[in-house]
Amino acid sequence: MQPVSLTRFLLEEQRAKGLINADLRLLIEVVSRACKSISIAIGKGSLGGALGSAGSENVQGEVQKKLDVLSNEILLEANEWGGHLAALASEEMDDPHPIPHRYPKGEYLLVFDPLDGSSNIDVNISVGTIFSVLRCPDGVSEPDAQAFLQPGAKQVAAGYAVYGPNTLLVLTLGDGVHVFTLDREMGSFILSQQNLRIPEETSEFAINMSNQRHWEAPVQRYIGELVAGTTGPRARDFNMRWVASMVADVHRVLTRGGIFLYPRDTRDSSKPGKLRLLYEANPMSFIVEQAGGAASTGHQRILDVQPAALHERIAVILGSKNEVERVSEYHKTV
Ligand SMILES: O=P(O)(O)OC[C@H]1O[C@](O)(COP(=O)(O)O)[C@@H](O)[C@@H]1O
Ligand SMILES: [Mg+2]
Ligand SMILES: [Mg+2]
């Protein structure tokens, strides 16, 4: 069978299924090309001179790596001139970036985490890019942060790239989850898995155990039961993995089942979780739901949360449905 490139896949989604319009197709193409460039920059490692700290901080007070800044610039430049956007926003920029005037005005808003898991970059562990596409609200000609404050259920597309042993692009247009592998020789993303489904049964969990003393009671109970293994109420052993790159951890969960938690904890009441709602939690939750899983804060479906700020943080519990439902139940009872 002929390999199906991302370009051909998107054309079919547009022409045969009528699922997307030409603008959204081109927008996804532009983002995928930017991910290819980021993959090349990462692949060069120290030879490209892009490892290490950039010596600056982002709006959230996090030290930026050179590759955080470079990945942001790559996405910005690609979309500024090639995209079909009204504005874009990023983890690495305080405010949204309007797209220079063109007529007609772009229909979409793009929000991204240009380099996810960047603490792993200097130790050669998988990192990624996460993105989410929203519609620009009607009547808004110059979108500011307010235009981006839409619940995740309104996303029209979301995806992530994992820069690991392979570079993968995982995409949803609201009609299942599809995986594309970068053919490095050809320079194109090739469809490698259609309609990815999260396995329902799981014996793996992902959480940063070093935060255990800060967790709230429902998460203490849930993880405690998993760790108790055959001697506990679950009566079987569970395994734990934590890459500390959300893309890599969530990709593993999507592929072989499991649950990923970055829960709210008791350290700092101004930070209800570590991960960002608009460009980490929402796109990943959309993908996970489209693959048959679930995503919750513990109290609420993530995709129903009304954002209050562009860089808002939130608790994230996502993965195999039964496990996420169990943790949510514990939030009602503990
Ligand atoms: O170091 P910790 O606390 O385990 O946090 C790991 C989490 O932080 C993140 O690295 C945050 O993402 P950024 O690198 O984009 O800031 C996630 O990818 C990951 O799940
Ligand atoms: Mg991130
Ligand atoms: Mg990042």
CATH number of the structural domain spanning residue 267 = 3.40.190.80
Ligand 1 centre and the CA of 96: distance in Å? 22
Looking at the structure, do residues 306 and 226 belong to the same domain, yes or no?
yes
Same domain as 81, residue 156: yes
Question: Using CA atoms, how far apart are residues 315 and 215, in angstroms rounded to an integer?
Answer: 11
Q: Which of 158, 193, 228 is the last residue of a domain?
A: 193
- Give the domain-ending residue among 172, 193, 214: 193
Say yes or no: CB of residue 245 within 6 Å of ligand 1.
Answer: yes
Q: Tell me, yes or no, whether 107 and 209 share the same domain.
A: no
Question: Same domain, yes or no, for 170 and 293?
Answer: no
Domain range for 298: 204-333
**pLDDT reported for residue 65:** 80
Q: Is 204 annotated as a binding residue?
A: no
Which of 193, 215, 241 marks a domain boundary?
193
Q: Is the CB of 208 under 6 A from ligand 1?
A: yes
- Say how many Å lie between the CA of residue 221 and the centre of ligand 3: 30
Q: In terms of domains, do 233 and 298 share one? A: yes
The torsion defined by the Cα of 172, 153, 87 and 61, in degrees rounded to 10, comes to: -100
In tens, the pLDDT along 156-177 reads: 999 999 999 999 999 999 999 9
Same structural domain, 209 and 70: no
Enter the tokens of residue 283. Answer: 């796109």
Q: C-alpha angle with apex 172: 35 to 29, nearest 5 degrees?
A: 40
From CA 24, how far away is CA 10, in angstroms rounded? 9
Residues 184 and 257 in one domain: no
Ligand 1 within 6 A of 203 CB?
no
Do 175 and 33 lie in one domain? The reply is yes
Q: Are residues 210 and 329 in the same domain?
A: yes
182 and 324 part of one domain: no
Residue identifier of the C-alpha nearest atom 10 of ligand 1: 117
Measure 115 CA to ligand 3 centroid, in angstroms.
Answer: 4
Evaluate: CB of 263 within 6 angstroms of ligand 1.
no
Please tell me whether the overall predicted TM-score, pTM, comes out greater than 0.90 for this model.
yes
Tell me the pLDDT of the chain (334 aa) as tens digits: 789 999 999 999 999 888 899 999 999 999 999 999 999 999 988 887 777 777 777 777 777 888 899 999 999 999 987 658 999 999 999 999 988 766 567 899 999 999 999 989 989 999 999 999 999 999 888 899 999 999 999 999 999 999 999 999 999 999 999 999 999 999 999 999 999 999 988 899 999 999 999 999 999 999 999 999 999 999 999 999 999 999 999 999 999 999 999 999 888 877 789 999 999 999 999 999 999 999 999 999 999 999 999 999 999 999 999 999 999 999 998 6
Token look-up 């596409």 returns: 133
Of 287, 300, 309, the C-alpha closest to 327 is 300
Helix (H), strand (E) at residue 135: strand 127-135
91 labelled ligand-binding: yes
With respect to residue 63, please indicate whether it lies within any of the assigned structural domains. Answer: yes
How many structural domains does the chain have? 2
Whole-number pLDDT of residue 82: 63
